Structure 1
Amino acid sequence: MLVKEKPIYIVLSDTGTLFTRMIRWYTKAPFNHASIAFDPQLNEVYSFGRKDPRNPFVGGFVKENVRDGLFKDATLAVYRCSVSECQYKKIRDIVSRFEGESHLYKYNLPGLLGILLNIPVKRKYAFFCSQFVASVFEQAGARLVQKCSALTTPADLERSSELELMLKIG
């Protein structure tokens, strides 16, 4: 029996904020933020980032608008990943659970420091953007990278052989 595949999109971005410029200075990577999207028009985009675009210190699970706010002048790369229908449903369910419990989640800032030291920092109800993306795919049985999600960076996702570049903007 032929297994049907469904696309899910990974959006890598650089918004040019002070925080992202500091990350780019350290990593030398062109993208420093990762999100999951369920449609190629990028109407349903989810990640861990700022809950209030004006306040970089309050972060957590967010539904992002890539046409406004911090993303208005951002550089984006949109990648497609094909997953089975079962994996697609699992990924949808996992993201829906995050959305339904979004008040519980915080941004995993200590996890970013863990990347610098190559020490995975896993905290209940706390993720950074690329950790969230890698973790969701891992939980659905569709691994994007062969490393711990708590050490996964946007650059790791960019190099993933599971992703196909669709579009670059900016």
Structure 2
Amino acid sequence: MYVYFIHTSTTSILSRSIGVYTKNKYNHVSIGFDQELMEVYSFGRKQIHNPLVGGFVREDMSSGLFTDAKCQVYRMAVTTEEYYQMKALLQEFEGRRQALKYNFLGLIFLSWGFEIERPNHYFCSEFAATILKNSTNIILPKKVTFMTPQDMTSLPEMELIYEGAISSYLELNALAKFGYPVTWEVPSVAY
């Protein structure tokens, strides 16, 4: 079985600001449970026009800020038991949705190299790392409060299967559903 990690770069002011600071192309990570990216979760904005209201979200990769987003899609092989442990943990997050907040302060402390643990507060890569740490046997290189989206991509279990426009990835998956042959190779041409 596979789980998917979607690293995105949007045109939002917040995304561009983080990119200027980190000098990384992709500054947001989400976890998906199907190749078509119909079931995707992360910590991010709850309102499209207000980046300051954030928390646990189920993301729609075909609309909103993701419409024009660039992405890298990684997949990770997990056992059936790990897959269902991840899903169970996500259900716990879902059940506590109202109490969960975006960890803006943790993100600032991370940039300064200091750790701050805040119950019920997560930023996107902290959330993804928490899911992995508590559901799999994967050894993380850092504490979850220090994990960045780039740290997630460097895990040996991650396999890059696509890079480009997220809309193109979704179109390829739609074609595959109708029986068209689709190869999941990372294009060698920059977009």
Q: TM-score of the superposition, structure 1-length normalised? A: 0.93
Q: Does 1:65 align with 2:52?
A: no
Query: After TM superposition, which residue ranges in structure 1, 4 or more long, deviate above 3 angstroms?
Result: none
Other-structure match for 2:42: 47
1:85 — aligned with what? 80
Structure 1 residue 70, shift from structure 2 partner: 0.5
Q: How does 1:1-170 map to 2 (within 5 A)?
A: 6-143=1-138, 145-170=140-165
**SS of residue matched to 1:157:** helix
Identical pairs, percent: 37
The amino acid of 2:83's aligned partner reads: Y
> Within 2, Cα distance between the matches of 1:157 and 1:78?
12
How much has 1:136 moved relative to structure 2? 0.6
The superposition leaves residues 82-138 of structure 1 with CA deviations (integer Å, 9 ceiling, x where unpaired) of: 111111111000011111211110000011112112122221111000000001110
Q: Give the Cα separation in 2 of the matches to 1:28 and 1:107.
A: 22
User: What is the distance in 1 between the residues matched to 2:137 and 2:113?
Assistant: 23
RMSD (Å), alpha carbons: 1.1
Deviations 1:141-164 (A, max 9, x none): 343631111111111112221100
Partner of 1:3: none
User: Which sections of structure 1, spanning at least 5 residues, go unmatched?
Assistant: 1-5
Q: Name whichever structure is richer in strand by fraction.
A: 1
8 Å contact kept, 1:134–1:143: no
Structure 2 counterpart SS, 1:16: coil
- 2:3 & 2:96 partners in 1: Cα distance? 22
Q: C-alpha separation between the residues in 2 aligned to 1:152 and 1:132?
A: 9
Residue type matched to 1:167 in 2?
Answer: Y
SS in 2 for 1:122: coil
CA displacement at 1:169 relative to structure 2 = 2.4
- Contact preservation (8 Å) 1:36, 1:46: yes
Structure 2 CA distance for partners of 1:28 and 1:147, relative to 1, 3 Å? same
Structure 1 contact 114–151 (Cα < 8 Å) conserved: no
How high is the TM-score relative to the length of structure 2? 0.83
Deviations 1:40-82 (A, max 9, x none): 0000000000011111110000000011001000011110001
